């Protein structure tokens, strides 16, 4: 049986983003192996191991300067050298670099190496340090050690082609969202679910899904609540996720006295139901490739309040399917929330526009795009 190795920094990267690819490989008679850091303390491995054939726990670090990555590289290289893989598909910046370096020998023997860039660290507005570290490395790895570079948004595709990062650059529309799972619901079902979750029919709820970290910038949303205590008394933001900033964000909630409005829910597997009880979504990220959380909201007919970045800019139509706010201005963020809080008609109208824009980001569409790439790069060479 033919074999594929998929790599990323942490195992839940695959449960969040790559089931369409895993399904595609299985349908084409590939055994699928995963190499990533085991983060089962935050998310159980079961969902991933049920869908794949082998899982290898490698202690990758996200920082390119971490000494842990030397040991991780050696472990990964040993796996690749002995694994006889037909295709290796890597993800996330640091692991993408380590994988392509470790796969040089295998690639000379015919293994195809694919890298999906979920958002280059060298982007318009990025720091000079990001450009100095990541651009030269990507230029070398992309041009010398990569058979196909896949991008997921317009800005990255244009940059990859302009900078000639790889001979073959392809584009897919994100990582795919299950359009059957994320759907709108009627008012009766919505209110019944709200009661189960402990919320009332009169509450206006916003959902923010994602890892709690500095890049996701949840502090902007929490700070905005201090301006809304009086004018939007029934407004609440639900934060679904865990991460390194959790303690800091909880302290900020307590400091501002917005415990009734900011609900940190921890790790969740019921985001589809949370979207059904919520009225709109929000994301304050500084950097985003193509935010799955926003796409899930779009399929659920939910408007969005977002900051400007390449992913949000592509997904959200300003003043049509959502509002854009500055990264560092909680008062303007509060103003956007207030508009949606006070007008159900506006929420519904923007939600419909969001749903219309969501269609090309479904798992089915992305799987077709991936199959076209694999037909060109992998399956034709190896034979289905």
Q: Can you give the pLDDT at residue 175?
A: 86
Report all structural domains of the chain as residue ranges with CATH numbers, in order of start.
2-176+362-382 (3.40.50.2000), 187-360 (3.40.50.2000)
Residues 6+ apart with CB under 8 A from 368: none
> Hey, is 196 helix, strand or coil?
helix
Residue-level pLDDT at 34 = 96
Q: What is the DSSP string of 72-126?
A: HHHHHHHHHHHH--SEEEEESHHHHHHHHHHTHHHHHTT-EEEEEESS-SS-TT-
pLDDT at 12: 84
Per-residue confidence (pLDDT) for residue 43, from 0 to 100: 73
Q: What is the value of pTM for the model shown?
A: 0.86
**146 pLDDT more than 80:** yes
CA dist 107 and 100 (Å) reads 9
CA angle at 297 for the pair 255 and 126, rounded to the nearest 5°: 65
Sheet containing strand 280-283, strands side by side: 262-266, 235-240, 204-209, 280-283, 303-307, 322-325
pLDDT band at 381 (very low <50, low <70, confident <90, very high): low
Lowest mean pLDDT among 31-45, 124-138, 311-325, 370-384: 370-384
The per-residue pLDDT for range 201-227, each reduced to its tens digit, is: 999 999 999 999 999 999 999 999 999
Angle at 355 between CA 352 and CA 361, to 5 degrees: 165
Contact (CB, 8 A) for 346 and 233: no
H runs (alpha helix) in 257-358? 271-277, 292-299, 310-315, 330-342, 344-358
Q: Which residue has the tokens 């694994």?
A: 83
């Amino acid at each position: 049986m033919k074999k594929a190795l998929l790599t990323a920094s942490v195992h839940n990267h695959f449960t969040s983003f790559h089931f369409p690819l895993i399904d595609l490989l299985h349908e084409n008679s590939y055994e699928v192996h995963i190499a990533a850091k085991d983060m089962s303390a935050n998310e159980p491995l079961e969902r991933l191991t049920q869908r794949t054939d082998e899982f290898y726990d490698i202690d990758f670090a996200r920082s390119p300067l971490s000494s842990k990555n030397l040991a991780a590289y050696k472990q990964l290289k040993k796996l690749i050298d002995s694994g006889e893989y037909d295709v290796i598909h890597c993800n996330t910046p640091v692991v993408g670099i380590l994988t392509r370096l470790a796969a040089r020998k295998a690639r000379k023997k015919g293994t195809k190496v694919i890298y999906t860039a979920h958002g280059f660290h060298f982007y318009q507005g990025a720091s000079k340090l990001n450009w100095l570290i990541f651009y030269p490395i990507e230029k070398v790895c992309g041009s010398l050690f990569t058979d196909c570079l896949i991008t997921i948004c317009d800005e990255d595709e244009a940059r990859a082609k302009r900078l000639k990062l790889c001979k073959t650059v392809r584009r897919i529309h994100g990582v795919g969202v299950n359009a059957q799972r994320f759907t709108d619901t009627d008012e009766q079902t919505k209110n019944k679910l709200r009661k189960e979750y402990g919320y009332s029919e009169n509450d206006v709820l916003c959902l923010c899904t994602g890892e709690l970290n500095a890049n996701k910038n949840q502090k902007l949303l929490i700070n905005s609540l201090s301006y809304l205590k009086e004018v939007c008394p029934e407004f609440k933001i639900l934060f679904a996720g865990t991460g390194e900033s959790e303690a800091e964000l909880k302290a900020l909630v307590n400091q501002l006295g917005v415990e009734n409005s900011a609900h940190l829910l921890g790790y969740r597997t019921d985001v589809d139901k949370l979207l059904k009880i919520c009225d709109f979504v929000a994301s304050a990220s500084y950097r985003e490739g193509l935010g799955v959380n926003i796409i899930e909201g779009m399929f659920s007919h939910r408007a969005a309040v977002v900051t400007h970045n390449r992913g949000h800019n592509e997904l959200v139509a300003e003043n049509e399917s959502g509002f854009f706010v500055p990264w560092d201005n909680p008062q303007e963020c509060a103003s956007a929330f207030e508009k949606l809080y006070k007008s159900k008609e506006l929420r519904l109208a923007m939600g419909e526009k969001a749903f219309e824009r969501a269609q090309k980001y479904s798992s089915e569409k992305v799987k077709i795009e991936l199959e076209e790439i694999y037909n060109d790069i992998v399956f034709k060479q190896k034979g289905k």
